[in-house]
Amino acid sequence: MALDSKIPQGEMDKKWEDYKAHVKLVNPANKRKLEVIVIGTGLAGASAAASLGEMGYKVKTFCFQDSPRRAHSIAAQGGINAAKNYQNDGDSVFRLFYDTVKGGDYRSREANVHRLAEVSAAIIDQCVAQGVPFAREYGGLLSNRSFGGVQVQRTFYAAGQTGQQLLLGAYSALERQVALGNITQYSRHEMLDIVMIDGKARGIIARNLITGELERHFGHAVLLCSGGYGNVFYLSTNAMGSNVTAAWKAHKHGAYFGNPCFTQIHPTCIPVSGDHQSKLTLMSESLRNDGRIWVPKVKDDNRKAKDIPEAERDYYLERRYPAFGNLVPRDVASRAAKERCDAGYGVGTTKMAVYLDFASAIKRYGKIEAGKPGNEQADEAGIIALGKEVVKEKYGNLFEMYEKITGENPYETPMRIYPAVHYTMGGLWVDYELQTSVNGLYALGEANFSDHGANRLGASALMQGLADGYFVIPYTLGNYLADDIRTETIPTTHPAFEASEKAVSDRINKLMSIGGTQSVESFHKRLGKIMWGKCGMARNAQGLQEAIQEIQELRKEFWSDLKIPGEINELNPELDKAGRVADFLELGELMCIDALHRNESCGGHFREESQTEEGEAKRDDSNFSFVSAWEYKGDSNWELHKEALEFEIVKPTQRSYK
Amino acid sequence: MGLTGFFLITFLIVHCLINSMIFFNDGGQTFNHWAHFMGTNLIIRIMEIGLFVFLLLHIIQGLMLWQQNKAARPIAYAVSHPERNSAWYSRSMGLLGTLILLFLVLHLYHFWVPSRFGGMASIQPLEPVSLSDYANQEAHNLYREMQIVFQNVWVVIIYVFGVFSLCWHLMHGFQSAFQTFGINHKKYTPIIKTIGMAYSIVICVLFALMPISIYMGWVN
Amino acid sequence: MEHYNMNLTLKVWKQKNSQSKGSFETYKVNDISSEMSFLEMFDVLNEQLVHDGKEPIAFDHDCREGICGACSMYIDGQPHGPWQQNTTCQLHMRAFKDGDTIVVEPWRSSAFPVIKDLIVDRTAFDRIIQAGGYISVNTGNAQDANNLPIKKQDADDAFSAAACIGCGACVAACKNGSAMLFVSAKVSQLALLPQGQPERETRVLNMVTQMDKEGFGNCTNTYACEAECPKGISVANIARMNKEYLKAGLNTKE
For the stretch A608-642, pLDDT in tens is 999 998 888 999 999 999 999 999 999 999 999 99
Residue B208 lies in a domain: yes
Residue A58 pairs in a beta bridge with: A35
**Structurally, what CATH architecture does the domain formed by A268-421 represent?**
Alpha-Beta Complex (3.90)
How high is the pLDDT of residue A600?
Answer: 97
- Judged by phi (left if over 0) then psi (alpha if -120 to 50, else beta), residue A171 lies in alpha
Mean pLDDT of A421-426: 97
Q: In chain C, what percentage of residues exceed pLDDT 90?
A: 97
B183 touching chain C per CB within 8 A: yes
A615 in Cβ contact with A339 (< 8 Å): yes
How high is the pLDDT of residue B1?
Answer: 87
Residue B77 lies in a domain: no
The CA distance from B101 to the nearest CA of chain C, in Å, is 19
> What are the φ and ψ backbone dihedral angles of A240, each rounded to 5 degrees?
-60, -35
With cut-offs at 50, 70 and 90, classify the pLDDT of residue B117.
confident
Angle between helical axes of B42-72 and B29-40 (0-180°, round to 10): 80
Report the C-alpha gap between A642 and A628 in whole angstroms: 5
Averaged pLDDT score across all residues of chain A: 95
Angle between helical axes of B153-180 and B93-107 (0-180°, round to 10): 130
Mean pLDDT of B145-150: 90
The CA distance from B56 to the nearest CA of chain C, in Å, is 19
Q: What is the 3-state secondary structure (H, E, C) of C151-188?
A: CHHHHHHHHHHHCCCCCCHHHHHCCCCECHHHHHHHHH
Neighbours of A, requiring at least 3 CB pairs below 8 Å, are C
Mean pLDDT of B141-150: 88
Instruction: Please count the other Cβ atoms lying within 10 Å of the Cβ belonging to residue A254.
Output: 18
With cut-offs at 50, 70 and 90, classify the pLDDT of residue B40.
confident
Mean pLDDT of C42-49: 97
Cβ neighbours of residue A154 under 8 Å, at least 6 residues apart?
Answer: A81, A82, A83, A84, A85, A87, A91, A96, A144, A147
With cut-offs at 50, 70 and 90, classify the pLDDT of residue B26.
confident
Cβ neighbours of residue C85 under 8 Å, at least 6 residues apart?
Answer: C229, C230, C231, C232
Domain extent at residue B14:
2-71+87-216
A511 in Cβ contact with A582 (< 8 Å): yes
Q: Does residue B217 have a pLDDT over 80?
A: yes
Report the C-alpha gap between A11 and A648 in whole angstroms: 10
Report the C-alpha gap between A45 and A67 in whole angstroms: 13
Instruction: Verify B-A touch: 3 or more CB pairs within 8 A.
Output: no
How high is the pLDDT of residue B122?
Answer: 61
Mean pLDDT of B176-187: 94
Q: What is the residue extent of each domain of chain A?
A: 268-421, 495-620
Answer whether B184 sits within 8 Å of C217, measured CB to CB. no
Total domains in the fold of chain B: 1
Q: In chain A, what percentage of residues exceed pLDDT 70?
A: 100
Residue C32 pairs in a beta bridge with: C6
Nearest to C134 among A135, A175, A565 (CB): A175
Q: Does residue A356 have a pLDDT over 80?
A: yes
How high is the pLDDT of residue B123?
Answer: 61
For C5-115, CATH gives 3.10.20.30
ipTM of the modeled complex:
0.98
Mean pLDDT of A69-93: 95
Instruction: Indicate if C123-251 has the same CATH topology as C5-115.
Output: no
Q: What is the residue extent of each domain of chain C?
A: 5-115, 123-251
Interface subset of C 70-99, CB within 8 angstroms of A: 70, 83, 86, 90, 92, 94
Instruction: Please count the other Cβ atoms lying within 10 Å of the Cβ belonging to residue C10.
Output: 19
| CATH 1.20.58.100 is the classification of domain A495-620 | yes
How high is the pLDDT of residue A1?
Answer: 62
Instruction: Please count the other Cβ atoms lying within 10 Å of the Cβ belonging to residue A17.
Output: 14
Q: Dump the DSSP string for A486-523.
A: T-PPPPTTSHHHHHHHHHHHHHHHHHHH---SB-HHHH
Minimum mean pLDDT range among A220-224, A253-257, B113-117, C229-233: B113-117
Task: From A144, A206, A138, A177, select the one nearest A47 (Cα to Cα).
Answer: A177
Report the C-alpha gap between A499 and C196 in whole angstroms: 49
How high is the pLDDT of residue B132?
Answer: 47
Nearest to C77 among B71, B77, B184 (CB): B77
How high is the pLDDT of residue B131?
Answer: 42
How high is the pLDDT of residue B37?
Answer: 87
Residue B161 lies in a domain: yes
Q: Which of A113 and A147 is assigned the larger pLDDT?
A: A113
How high is the pLDDT of residue A137?
Answer: 93
pLDDT digits (tens, 9 = 90+) for A482-541: 999 999 999 999 999 999 999 999 999 999 999 999 999 999 999 999 999 999 999 999
Q: Does residue B116 have a pLDDT over 60?
A: yes
How high is the pLDDT of residue C178?
Answer: 98
C177 touching chain B per CB within 8 A: yes
B75 touching chain C per CB within 8 A: yes
Mean pLDDT of B87-111: 95
Interface subset of A 492-521, CB within 8 angstroms of C: 519, 521
| Distance, C-alpha B46 to centroid of its chain | 18
pLDDT digits (tens, 9 = 90+) for A246-303: 999 999 999 999 999 999 999 999 999 888 999 999 998 888 888 999 999 999 899 9
Residues of C in contact with A273 (CB under 8 A): 33, 35
Mean pLDDT of A35-50: 98
Q: Does residue C83 have a pLDDT over 90?
A: yes
The CA distance from B87 to the nearest CA of chain C, in Å, is 7
Cα distances (Å, whole numbers) of residue A382 to A366, A367, A373, A375, A421: 8, 10, 14, 9, 40
C216 touching chain B per CB within 8 A: yes
Answer whether C62 sits within 8 Å of A282, measured CB to CB. no
A18 in Cβ contact with A8 (< 8 Å): yes
Q: Does residue B133 have a pLDDT over 60?
A: no
Strands lying side by side in the sheet with A263-269: A263-269, A415-424, A354-357, A292-296, A313-314
Helix (H, G, I), strand (E, B) or coil at A435: strand
Interface subset of C 200-229, CB within 8 angstroms of A: none
AA letter at C91: L
Report the C-alpha gap between A296 and A316 in whole angstroms: 10
B54 in Cβ contact with B7 (< 8 Å): yes
Mean pLDDT of A304-309: 93
Q: In chain A, what percentage of residues exceed pLDDT 90?
A: 88
pLDDT digits (tens, 9 = 90+) for A175-215: 999 999 999 999 999 999 999 999 999 999 999 999 999 99
Instruction: Verify A-C touch: 3 or more CB pairs within 8 A.
Output: yes
| CATH 1.10.1060.10 is the classification of domain C123-251 | yes
Mean pLDDT of B144-161: 93
With cut-offs at 50, 70 and 90, classify the pLDDT of residue B130.
very low
Q: Does residue A234 have a pLDDT over 50?
A: yes
Interface subset of B 32-61, CB within 8 angstroms of C: none
How high is the pLDDT of residue A636?
Answer: 96
Task: From A440, A24, A401, select the one nearest A199 (Cα to Cα).
Answer: A440
Cα distances (Å, whole numbers) of residue C51 to A280, B14, B148, C175: 25, 72, 78, 39
How high is the pLDDT of residue B128?
Answer: 46
With 0-12 / 13-18 / 19 or more C-beta atoms within 10 angstroms meaning exposed / middle / buried, residue A588 is buried
pLDDT digits (tens, 9 = 90+) for C187-241: 999 999 999 999 999 999 999 999 999 999 999 999 999 999 999 999 999 999 9
Q: Does residue A656 have a pLDDT over 90?
A: no
pLDDT digits (tens, 9 = 90+) for C134-170: 999 999 989 999 999 999 999 999 999 999 999 999 9
pTM: 0.96
